[in-house]
Amino acid sequence: MPRAIIPNDSKLFAQSDKDKSVTHFVTSDARSMKTWNALKKKTTPKFEILDITIPHNQTFGILDLK
């Protein structure tokens, strides 16, 4: 049974937006990303969403200088 994407993700995004200590929301769910992009068209969230499938050094622009 597929999970209810819109209500669950929207609730998590709303909670994240209200909590001032939350600066990032991490997910690997592509459908969650679609929900996020749809919400961003109508609102200005106070946190960023990060795709956990993208390495952190790429996301934050950190060079791997070994």
Considering the entire predicted model, what is its pTM?
Answer: 0.68
Model pLDDT for residues 12-25, shown as the tens digit of each residue: 888 999 999 999 99
Q: Is 13 exposed, middle or buried (0-12, 13-18, 19+ CB in 10 A)?
A: buried
- Domain regions of the chain by residue span: 5-54
Q: Which residue ranges in the chain fall short of pLDDT 70?
A: 1-6
